[in-house]
Structure 1
Amino acid sequence: MKNLISLLFFYSICSFSQVGINTVTPDASSIFDVTSSNKGILIPRIALSATTDVTTITSPATSLLIYNTATVSDVLPGYYYWDGVQWTKLLTNNAIDTKWDTLGNSGTDDTVNFIGTTDDEDLVFKRNNVFAGVIDASNTGFGVNSMASTTPNRRDTAFGVSALQANTTGYENTAIGINTLNANTIGSYNTASGANSLASNTTASYNTANGYNSLTNNTTGSSDTAIGANALYSNLTGTGNTAVGANSLYTNNSGVGNTAIGNGALRLNEVGSNNTVSGSNALSNNTSGSNNTVSGVNSMLYNTTGIGNTATGLNAMLNNVSGNYNTVSGQGALSGNIDGIRNVAIGVNTMNLNTSGNYNTALGGSSLSDNTIGLGNTASGYSAYLEIFLEVITLLWGILL
């Protein structure tokens, strides 16, 4: 009986101590210490069906360790432990890490490794938990708040901070640059490239803006084309305008059907329509004049309200303000005209001093060059009218003598 009591006492002490196999002095930090010089521990071998497998081992305890023998789904042979949610593989130096590392990965295979989804779901990017881009079945956006509100599958493309930010159902838009097409909601088929281009556009469609601040204030004007910094900058509702060159059609508000090619061409136009202009600063001061056709640097520079004029050549009709239906071809032709109407001047400096004369026709360099307010004159040939005038004076002088 005495020996039995002693044995029970010994086992009661061991139940609260470490367990040692092949050692009588298990390590104090271990509850179970196995010592061997030529043998190992054989961990239970289990064939998992996936990292989420809770059937093969029912209700696995957190930290449960196994050796998986199966190659199926997302598991490979190797040691796994249950982390409370799924089976997690213990990685070794030779194991392939399937997770992307913030410091970069090595040994990748571009036919296997990728960033993206394997199901029919959108790939969303965020910065500081703020929407910063999306790739869905047909939309592509990259940049903080780019396409933040866009309905999927609208075939939109946006690159840049706040590009197409407010877009909801507008489709097939392309926005490249900060704030491009920022306010667009349902406008479609727009192309904007350059900071703030088409930034205020809401419902307008078929616009093309290329350049800093081009068409930046446009809201509902459609079918406009602006190429160059500040081109069609102030346009709100004007449609069918084409502006090529920095500041061309800059202040246009509601004018329609204008074509301006050249730096500052039709710069101050507001409501004038159907003007066709080519040349730096041509028709630059026009505000409401319409149906003018102008070609040449500074041609019709100061025109404001004149309509139906055709001017071709450097400084042609330079000072015209309100003259209408004049036809001019030649450098400096009708350059002094202010409000004269229905004149025809062809040749360098023809009728260049005319201010208010009407219904005159001058063909030839410097012809009718001294006319200012004369009406209904016709002169053909170099310096014509001046020579006729001199001949008349000579004839009269001879009669008087």
Structure 2
Amino acid sequence: MINMTLKSYFLTFLISFLGVITCTAQVGVGTTTPLAAFDITSTTDGLLIPRVALSATNVATVVTPTVSELVYNTFTSALGPNQVSPGFYYWNGTLWVPIASGNLTAWSLTGNSGTVATTNFVGTTDAVDFVTRTNNTEKVRVTSAGNVGIGTPSPAAKLDVASGVTTVNSVVNATGSINDFLQFNVQNTSTGIQAQSGYSATADNGSPTTGFAWVGINNSTFNYPTAYNVGVANDVSFVGSGQDMYVANANNTKSIIFSTGRATTPFFNERMRIRSDGSVGINSTGAASEKLKVVHSGAGNDAINAVNNDDNVGKGNAVWATNSNATGTSIIASAGATPPSVLPTTGAGISGSHVDGYGVYGSTGNGDPSNASHNGHAAGGFLLDNDNSVATTGSSAFAKLAGKDNASPNGILTAQNVLYGGYFQGGVSAQSYSYAGLKYNHTGAGAGGTDYKVIGNGVASTIILDENKMPRVMFCPEAPEVLFEDYGISKLSNGEAFITLDKVLASSMKIDEKHPLKVFIQLEGDCNGVFVTDKSNVGFRVKELNNGKSNVSFSWHIVGSRADSKDANGVINSEFENLRLPIGPTKLKQDVLLEKSNSRQK
């Protein structure tokens, strides 16, 4: 009876349940009005999903799982890409996919809060690269070694950006707004002697040592010997090993400005400027009319210091200046307070002027007479060339100032030292030449040589003007010896007169038996005639013949040898008294000239 009753109840429930399904196609548990295909309603209990111990996300575990099948995993597997931990998972046909729990253990598309940086992160927990994609194409990769690649799956540096073929010019574009430096900052914390910090760009066919450009700074102990790393500690460098290096301002009205810093504002102190017209100013803004303008106002320093250390003959020059204008001047030099710039209208190679000092000053060293290696040198040289070609040696005029030489008078006799203040030569074939301020040793016999004011192969002469203001030449008498002369007038007194020589003149004359005083008397009245006696360095006596007692006037003329010049110790400085037709100095040879290529003018 009981079994029949239970069977009756079950049958009744089943018929009713099937009736509901058949009629409504919905199942309700705890409700007679289900709102879905399966509606469970309860205020005290929940839905208990099957609990399964999964071993990995890529292992089915459940027998024949169906897509969208839901389980609650109770197992924590080992770390790895397929790790599982307790929580809800659904089957997507290939893998078990975790479902975010109530405390949002997964990252939300709308952001997360309450995260802890040491435990909450986006990334991997194993040695597998972290990759981000767009349009299912890799865009950024963080390798397990810590390198970041943008546009490359194998970054070779901490940040490796590969733009590939692009329509924009910039690989990296950074913007910001701050009333101070906005910069990329690179610091190398190594203290090694090769350590540097900076930025490098490499050509498409270059390498880290060729075809590159570098800008940066070295460290405090820098001592790297490689050729392109030049400098001492904490030097800033801009180095390239490609071909041409370009520094350009594309604005055709603006300049490239080089500055040094200082501690107060403005922090940049302009030192050099390259203007858009190509002119350069150093400590000056420059001007279009001056391709290079250098301004310096400090005392004792140089505006320009040009040095050439090439010691090969005829090679480099410290300064090369050329002006191709027919009446131009290559170098105009002026000095002093508000100095004038003086130059000839026909042009010049160098034009110098000074308010109080020298317009042009030249100096040469090692001019000691014993220094044979510097024979032919002078502080200044001047040449009037016949044909404007150094390939030929002909000249119309030639001069040297403050020089020395050593030459044989005829190419056979012993060469003698020649020290001169000036040497001047004129003429084309048979030149006239003369020395001024000359010291010359005629014999080299131990004396100091002879001093000459002017000596040469021409004649001593002067110019006077005639009644028509025409210049007329007067010539000086010349002698084979070095002589002094004097003239005077006197008068016999009772047939006798003593003439006292000028003391200054007498002290410079050599009067002895070998060098007698020559006296010439011209009577200016009638008497028996006169003779000269008692000649000495004091004077001479004139007496009338036949013991006459006349009182007539006369004029006298004396000629005597010039005495040698000696110093305070009696050493001869210059020979005079024994010279008679000595062998003199010959012409100086012109310097061998070099002509630089005119291509330097371009």
| TM band (smaller chain) | 0.3 to 0.5
Larger Rg: 2
- Please state which structure has a larger fraction of its residues in strand: 2
Given the two structures, how large is their TM-score scaled by the length of structure 1? 0.45
